[in-house]
Amino acid sequence: MASDVLFRVKSREFALGRRAWIMGIVNVTPDSFSDGGLFLDPARAIERGLALVEDGADVVDVGGESTRPGSDPVTPDEEIRRVLPVIAGLRERTQALISVDTSKVEVAEAALDAGADIVNDISAFRLDPRILVLAARHGAGFILMHMKGVPRTMQAHPHYDDVVAEVRAFLAERIDVAEAYGLPRESIAIDPGIGFGKNQPDNLALLAGLRTLAGLGRPVVVGVSRKSFIGKILDAPPQDRLEGTIAAAVMSFVNGASVLRVHDVRAVARAVRVAEAILSATGGDGPPREEKAGYVH
């Protein structure tokens, strides 16, 4: 469990750490590895997002481009067509935080104008640094993720000498560059990129070493939901990885993660609330927080 760290999003400030935030996933794509095609209809995607908030999501993460291993990019226009009505519809109906999962400045701008609060960029702005200037202008939160290569080729024999140290160094450098572009440090969160250019031992080592990444002083976002490392452990397809997802999410929180990005919000939120209660009984960190992120000012 991480110590509290300030995260600033559009003039609101949140203390992340003692209570895990849950980020619910809404993929508006035909080809995502787990739920591709399920929420292509905007009305259905909006209802899905609202249901995730009801289940306990603090943030709804809307993505219009699959980033599964081997996937190809889509055009900015197509990505905007997919995500914009969903973000606008959610903004009209919920106060929960909304993030847009994109590396394209055009998509991020359309999403922020429609009411998104956070940009979740798997490229850590390596594809287009202008996205940082845009986020700073809007006062948005920004999630920097580590990825070796690009989604289409990232799983082609990735290699690290020390994966935890190398990912930490990358994220530290990206934080410094983001600040140089005018994005406040308090608006930055970091993501080790589980499954993004990592093999099985790499993923497990990163999850075991999350406290090292938390030492950078920024909230750590972890996406373990239904991922292939769980499938390899359990010999199970994506739709049969709930127990593994819960275990990985709880251990991520215990090891220092502040935000858990998942499909199965209700199950993970309930499991993590129990973990928080147990950890709070050890003393030193105080009681778990009760408020939802979307309602704190």
Q: Which residues contact residue 258 at a Cβ distance below 8 angstroms, ignoring those fewer than 6 apart?
A: 2, 5, 7, 16, 17, 20, 21, 189, 214, 219, 220, 221
Residue 211: active-site member:
no
Give catalytic status of residue 104 as yes or no.
no
Measure CA 232 to chain center: 22
Quick: pLDDT tens for 183-232.
999 999 999 999 999 999 999 999 999 999 999 999 999 999 999 999 99
Domain coordinates in residue numbering, the chain: 5-295
Given 261, 270, 273, 292, the catalytic residue: 261
Looking at residue 116, what DSSP letter applies? -
Residues 14, 210: Cα–Cα separation, whole Å = 21
Residue 119 to residues 70, 187, 245: CA-CA distances in angstroms?
Answer: 23, 10, 24
Distance of CA 148 to the CA centre of its chain: 17
Give the tens place of pLDDT for each residue, 149-184: 777 676 777 889 999 999 999 999 999 999 999 999
The CATH class that applies to domain 5-295 reads alpha beta
18 band by pLDDT with thresholds 50, 70 and 90: confident
pLDDT of residue 295: 37
Q: Is the pLDDT of residue 289 over 50?
A: no
* pLDDT at residue 291, as a whole number: 47
Q: Is residue 34 pLDDT above 90, yes or no?
A: no
Residue 294 pLDDT: 43
DSSP string, 37-60: TTT-SHHHHHHHHHHHHHHT-SEE
Whole-structure pTM value: 0.90
The active-site residue, picked from 18, 227, 241, 289, is: 227
| The pLDDT of residue 237 is above 80 | yes
Distance CA(170)–CA(182), nearest Å, equals: 19
| Rg (alpha carbons) of the chain, rounded to whole number | 17
How many CB atoms sit inside 10 A of residue 210's CB? 22
